[in-house]
Chains A and B, each alone.
Chain A
Amino acid sequence: MAHEETVYDALGNAQEDHGHWAFGTGFDEPLAGVDTTVPDGIDPAELGEYCLMLGDDALVLAQRLTQWITASPELEEEVAVANVALDLLGQARLLLARAGSVGVLGRSRERATESIPDEDALAYFRDADEFRCTALVAAPNGDFAQTMARLLVAATVRLAVFARLRDSRDPVLAAIAAKGVNELAYHRDHAARWVLRLGDGTDESHRRAQAGVAAVWPLLDDVFTATDLERRLTDAGVAVDPSTVRDEVHGVLTEVLERATLTVPAWPADAAPRGRLGEHGPELAELLETLQSLARQHPAATW
């Protein structure tokens, strides 16, 4: 075999299996070399479904955040939002790859050819009703104040869940969570400082921050309600029952809002899970249309 002359040749060879697939990086299996054996006593299909919930939250929030690119209030913020989205996209890739590693691929394989990696098949070739994200991440951005209020809430919830998932009995999930905690702490604190700056800013920024919080708070209604699957996996030591992070999340959000001179809205009453069971408003389908259109129209595209 002739040795590669340049790194580009090496990249070409490294990509032989997925060479024509351009929507993931195509360079790299995110779980290459990672032991994906499922420990005894854990139902692989349920583990995969749970990874879809966590992975879809990250994928959809990343896509929402990237909608600010070219539209952010300042250049540094544009870079920050893109960085946060990139971290979340990385978490999504690992979690969707974990779901794929245990065979949870939904109907994606009916459309995605074999050469498309699992995480790309799951991201690009499932319809909205197969997504397991909550409305908290799927809701439209609103203005910048509302976007930061949502990021604060979503990152606070995710950080609290991931901190506990570091002890998951699934070693892959535990490793993803341990890396994610370090990243999510940056995301939450960044959003919290914006809420503080806007809430305790001018009359107009205060008004917008309060309106943003008012728009986001009702989306918490099904965030802390566990599905039956989450309860079973929590009992098995794999998952985190979201109801157990409610007090911590409430405490963090209250602290930020009070410091920001904002009124803490009434906590919404618990509702039955919707997004986790695939029930979404039309905004998710609209978001996915943008996210998925290129992959679906040109499944062999390359650049």
Chain B
Amino acid sequence: MVSAPVTVDPWEVAAAVTDPELPMVTLADLGVLRDVRIEDDGAVVVEITPTYTGCPAMGVMRADLVLALHRAGFDDVDVRTVLSPAWSTDWISEAGRAKLAAGGIAPPGKAPVRATGPVPLQLGPTRRTAACPLCGSSDTEELSEFGATACKALRRCRTCREPFEHVKEI
């Protein structure tokens, strides 16, 4: 067994791991990485939370985290799933939002407040707005609430006519 050098912070290692579907941002930027700690026996415990319940990238995230920590010298790594509280796009950091925009993906606005009680019906066109990450215009329209991955909607810019993806609020 190789002991981890004391100079390496496992949080720093885990926080540098990027998302498999949004490679411009890290799991820490997304708020998916919830906790990294060293147990008394030296094991590194990492806690991650799924964005959407059916997110198919969880397995790759887990493997990427194990790989990065192994490479940093941590042999005993346990990646755990945390379901509560449910992930929200509000947890995406400012740095993460800037990276998404620079990568051509519009970052989310404020997530809807989920109070207790019935969830109000929304029948009209969605009121969400998102500036075009390509030309900056705020004159954009939603093409579909559901995009290439569970976390993204598809929009189009009316100014530069380019389609773009938008991380939808949840």
Total interface residues on B, CB under 8 Å, equals 48
Interface flag for B16 (CB, 8 Å): no
Contact yes or no, B114 A175, CB < 8 A: no
Contact yes or no, B146 A14, CB < 8 A: no
Compute how far the CA of A295 lies from the CA of B52 in the bound complex, rounded to whole angstroms.
26
Contact stretch, chosen from A87-95, A104-112, A131-139: A87-95
Contact yes or no, B122 A189, CB < 8 A: yes
Compute how far the CA of A90 lies from the CA of B50 in the bound complex, rounded to whole angstroms.
10
Residue among A25, A30, A185, A252 making CB contact with B81, cutoff 8 Å: A30
Contact yes or no, A33 B58, CB < 8 A: no
Interface flag for A296 (CB, 8 Å): no
Interface flag for B75 (CB, 8 Å): yes
Interface flag for B137 (CB, 8 Å): no
* Contact indicator per residue, chain A 12-36, by CB within 8 Å of chain B (1) or not (0): 0110000000000111111111100
* Contact indicator per residue, chain B 81-103, by CB within 8 Å of chain A (1) or not (0): 11111111000000000000000
Which chain B positions have C-beta within 8 A of A100?
A: none
Contact stretch, chosen from B5-13, B25-33, B66-74: B66-74
Contact stretch, chosen from A2-10, A276-284, A286-294: A2-10
* Contact indicator per residue, chain A 173-193, by CB within 8 Å of chain B (1) or not (0): 011101111111110111011
Closest to B47 in A: A33
Total interface residues on A, CB under 8 Å, equals 65
Please judge, given known A-B contacts A34-B82, A79-B147, A185-B119, whether A90 and B53 are in contact too, CB under 8 Å. Answer: yes
Contact yes or no, A86 B54, CB < 8 A: yes
Contact stretch, chosen from A120-128, A158-166, A209-217, A227-235: A158-166
Compute how far the CA of A76 lies from the CA of B85 in the bound complex, rounded to whole angstroms.
31
Which chain B positions have C-beta within 8 A of A86?
A: 52, 54, 56, 150
Which chain B positions have C-beta within 8 A of A181?
A: 114, 119
Contact yes or no, A171 B63, CB < 8 A: no
Contact yes or no, A10 B66, CB < 8 A: yes
Which chain B positions have C-beta within 8 A of A252?
A: 121
Closest to A190 in B: B145
Contact yes or no, B118 A31, CB < 8 A: no
Which chain B positions have C-beta within 8 A of A160?
A: 118
Least CB distance from B166 to A in Å reads: 14
Contact yes or no, B150 A33, CB < 8 A: no
Least CB distance from B158 to A in Å reads: 17
Least CB distance from B63 to A in Å reads: 4
Contact yes or no, A182 B144, CB < 8 A: no
Residue among A80, A91, A188, A192 making CB contact with B144, cutoff 8 Å: A80
The 10 closest A-B pairs by CB, nearest first: A33-B80, A27-B59, A90-B54, A90-B53, A175-B84, A80-B146, A175-B83, A76-B144, A83-B146, A10-B67
Residues in chain B within 8 A of chain A (CB atoms): 47, 50, 52-56, 58-60, 62-64, 66-67, 70-71, 75, 78-88, 112, 114, 116-119, 121-123, 143-148, 150, 154, 168, 170
